[in-house]
Structure 1
Amino acid sequence: MHPIELNAARVSRRQLFGRTASGVGTAALASLLGRDSLAGAAGASNAQGIPGLPHHKPSAKRIVMLWQGGGPSHIDLFDEKPMLQKLAGQNIPDSVRGDTRLSTMSSGYGKWPCVPAIKPYRTFGQSEMRLSEMVSPLGQIADDICLVRSLHTESVNHAPGVTFFMTGSQVPGRPSLGAWLSYGLGSESDNLPTFVVMTSSDAGKTCGQLFFDYYWGSGFLPSRFQGVKFRNTGDLVPYLTNPPGVSREGRRDLLDDIAAMNQAHLEEYGDPEIDTRISQYEMAFRMQTSVPELVDFSDESQSTLDRYGPNALKKGTFANNCLIARRLLERDVRFVQLMHSGWDQHNNLFTQLEIQCEDTIGPSAALVMDLKERGLLDDTLVVWGGEFGRTPFGQGNPDSPNGRDHFGKAFSWWMAGGGVKAGHVHGATDEFGWNITADPIHVHDMQATLLHLCGVDHERLTYRYQGRQFRLTDVHGHVAQGILA
């Protein structure tokens, strides 16, 4: 039985038999019959996922989200615009800009000078995909990726933008994408969490953004569905090692006694957080064995390590996190969320963007190639993107602009595997990279599409809270059929 339904059944039974004096009537019988029905349905459920899910055959069994916090510049990396070069220094026309919402850093500008891409674009792969030289490692996987050039969002600031994509709302408090999938589909791994998060930053080189816990939180879902964050220093997870003098057998006995007490409290109060406590203690015990094995890289070939780059074994780097992510995915962890900060480049765009690409693009491409060679890419969805893009006009001194500001009207992501079209470019923007001219994809559309690829109908995966049914996409969202294979 799914934990949510099990808790509902427990509470109903306790309330009817222990906390009321009304006797056993029709309501009590209905509760008992409902509990039996739930138990029967759960027999066909997927590792404690909701009965009846997936709603359709999934293309992706697992997702790895390569989140680039700060807003990667679509103009400089993925969306070639020769017009910006032709009109360099001239104002972008009012007819193009319209009433686009911009951040307060540039909304009051009197000039909007065109700033061309920092590096030239080249053609890659049989698909003849045009990409900046700064992301040339992606050329090795150009025929495997789906490049989306038509994403858009309402947010123009970082935290609301990340929160919007991760939870479906710009205001914190709702469950994250990984939590929704954990809740709906359950776990495929016995010894590792369903949802794992790792963070990295190049804040010493460029402007980094903070990563808040609610980016991977469970919101109003029980906390057992939130992401488990692996640390960058010390043990990946605290308390993996037993205290001095405590054997594994002694720890097992202690956990059994604690579990018995927690179970008694659970039966008495029906609090789902007690159920979370029981399951997390058990997972922590199993991770004492699974996590050390996870980060034992002695079985990795030198050619594999070389592919991920010089930081492959340097703890806390994006490259090392990508390598760990592949090992998590091949151990059936359902959702892996890598969050890397450093893309919030304003007046240091022209000096730092290329360095940021060197640190992240190669490992991202390596992960895709690694998954493909191991036969995992077909049912693993790789997603690379950030909360928005950067402005086509220059920021700073209009006569000598030295950066770009936040821009949500149009920006680019890329995806690979898991049921998306390979070697495909989806959507388009105008000659200034400002307005979307074909196949727009809103944040909610992308959320609906990711759930669809995992076999989930975004309109049917809901949770009742404060008197209404909530879902990741709120009351919006359509599956982007054009990117499906």
Structure 2
Amino acid sequence: MAKHNRPLKYTDLETEAALQVNRRQFLSRLSLGLGGVALSSLLPGCNPAESVPTVSGNTGLGGILDTTHIAPRAKRVIYLFQSGGPAQIDLFDYKPKLAEMFGAELPGSVRMGQRLTGMTAYQSSLPVAPSFFSFKQYGQSGAWLSELMPHTAKIADELCFVRSMYTEAINHDPAITFFQTGSQQPGRPSMGSWLSYGLGSDNENLPTFCVLLSRGLIRPQPIYSRLWGNGFLASMHQGVQFRAGKDPVLFINNPDGVEAPDRRRALDRLAELNDIRAKEFGDPEVYSRISQYEMAYRMQTSVPEAMDISGEPEEVYDLYGPDSRRPGTFAANCLLARRLAERNVKFIQLYHMGWDQHVDLPHDLRLQAKDTDQASAALVMDLKRRGLLEDTLVVWGGEFGRTVYSQGRLTNDNYGRDHHPRCFTIWMAGGGVKPGTVYGETDDFSYNIVKDPVHVHDFQATMMHLLGVDHEKLTFKHQGRRYRLTDVHGKVVKDLLA
């Protein structure tokens, strides 16, 4: 490289880059004809599978779709993911006949040889464990809810309960990964990333996909950052985790001694260098990096403002409960989710850990439900009174359910429940779903579905439909195959739509 007695300018750097041609670069450029064809399948607007008929208005900033495939009913999603597997039989799926079968062996005609986890496969018997908790019907829908959900019971007519969810995954990690990415194998883009890729952002100063974590008091299962990863999509589509404390998002604040004008000049210069790099190698990920740097700069002011709940009135804290004053709790995160929804964040993902009651369920489930019941209901009520529920889809649910039989010893006041993928319950509200609805039905043991099954991919397809996206048409070509969130499965459950 030539030596210079003066600092290199932008044009000098371009010249230097253009003049340096080694063997590797020569061969790389020689293949640009074929490489350009391959690259065209990755770049926005160049993928034939993405050139599909659309309707409605523009989808937002940076989305691959100029317009949505169908008229959207929801603009954003708040997903309250209850990690660990809430026991549907103790919360939503009332089975009164089980009281007569306390301690009896689960009939073989019910189990039908279905797979068990390693935690109960060794048991010599599978004793039926009726719920320890009382149930009542609520609202015009007549939805049955446990005594553990008194606040959720008050909004029963706002909710759409799906009691017939099912999945193939029987252990936590693959089951959670399946719900979040459409595959039990890690490495695929998450739901929020797919929507960021397809629909873009409605707020240029906040991430399209935001993530908040909280944990219950009892033995929480871990949550991994790959659950909100971008997979093979551009890195600008990954979820951004917001944390409790003075630095909600890591590494966006200026280091000590660096002022805002200095950071601005540094980013401008870095963008020039990255632009040269992108032109030289044709890697679209370089532009994703430039975009992320710029977003981080804008977030220096937008994130503290969005995360500052000190100005919320007292009645809001009363609505969400006393924990809403404690950063990092589920209640505080629900309040923050409402604030992010007000700022048009597209996908807001809350993970609440601790729903894994293999033992001591009557005690532990009571604590876990108390952590989440009031704040979940408050979020729905708060969105509705602010006029946001109509175009905000709220989802509450975990990765699978729990067994009707007891794991380990069964007594009159104590039992545990193992993982159960064959049937479980979620609820949804707002965003175009039918309120006051109870959909699907399970057998007398809450073990098998007997009416209107809804698979994980069906749920994902329905969620995307509500946002105006045809799940079969939003695809990305990777390693020679076109991928989508629902893989090659899924159908929209139209009976859930308002």
TM value normalised by structure 2: 0.88
AA in 1 matched with 2:310: S
Distance in 1 between residues matched to 2:470 and 2:45, nearest whole Å: 26
After superposition, the C-alpha distances for 1:268-292 in whole angstroms (9 at most, x for unaligned) are 1122221121111111111111111
Distance in 1 between residues matched to 2:31 and 2:220, nearest whole Å: 59
Distance in 2 between residues matched to 1:344 and 1:22, nearest whole Å: 53
Of 169-178 and 246-255, more deviation after overlay is shown by 246-255
Shift of 1:431: 0.9
* 3-state SS of 1:299 partner: coil
Alignment of 1:249-264 (within 5 A): 249-264=261-276
Residue of structure 2 equivalent to 1:295: 307
Of 411-420 and 389-398, more deviation after overlay is shown by 389-398
Residue of structure 1 equivalent to 2:460: 447
Distance in 1 between residues matched to 2:253 and 2:88, nearest whole Å: 45
Distance in 1 between residues matched to 2:31 and 2:330, nearest whole Å: 60
Matched, 1:19 2:29: yes
Residue of structure 2 equivalent to 1:11: none
In the alignment, which of 219, 236, 247 is matched to residue 259 of structure 2? 247
Shift of 1:397: 2.0
AA in 2 matched with 1:441: V
Alignment of 1:396-435 (within 5 A): 396-397=408-409, 402-435=415-448
Residue of structure 1 equivalent to 2:337: 325
Residue of structure 1 equivalent to 2:449: 436
AA in 2 matched with 1:237: V
Which runs of 5 or more structure 2 residues have no equivalent in the other structure?
Answer: 1-24
Shift of 1:127: 2.4
Distance in 2 between residues matched to 1:436 and 1:37, nearest whole Å: 43
Shift of 1:184: 0.6
TM value normalised by structure 1: 0.90
In the alignment, which of 72, 75, 94 is matched to residue 86 of structure 2? 72
CA RMSD, Structure 1 to Structure 2 (Å): 2.5
Distance in 1 between residues matched to 2:430 and 2:71, nearest whole Å: 16
After superposition, the C-alpha distances for 1:11-67 in whole angstroms (9 at most, x for unaligned) are xxxx999923999xxx99xx8xx99999xx999663221234410011111001100
Residue of structure 2 equivalent to 1:374: 386
Counterpart contact for 2:84–2:220, Cα < 8 Å: yes
Count of aligned pairs between the two proteins: 461
Counterpart contact for 2:58–2:67, Cα < 8 Å: no
Alignment of 1:80-479 (within 5 A): 80-202=94-216, 205-397=217-409, 402-479=415-492
After superposition, the C-alpha distances for 1:198-231 in whole angstroms (9 at most, x for unaligned) are 11112xx312011111111111111111100112
Sort the Cα spacing of 1:22 and 1:295 in 2 relative to 1 into closer, same or farther, 3 A.
closer
Shift of 1:399: 6.2
AA in 2 matched with 1:119: F
Distance in 1 between residues matched to 2:69 and 2:240, nearest whole Å: 26
Distance in 2 between residues matched to 1:327 and 1:386, nearest whole Å: 23
Counterpart contact for 2:193–2:239, Cα < 8 Å: yes
Which runs of 5 or more structure 1 residues have no equivalent in the other structure?
Answer: 1-14
Sort the Cα spacing of 1:434 and 1:22 in 2 relative to 1 into closer, same or farther, 3 A.
closer
Distance in 2 between residues matched to 1:36 and 1:482, nearest whole Å: 33
AA in 2 matched with 1:238: L
Counterpart contact for 1:265–1:274, Cα < 8 Å: yes
Distance in 1 between residues matched to 2:248 and 2:45, nearest whole Å: 41
Distance in 2 between residues matched to 1:35 and 1:418, nearest whole Å: 28
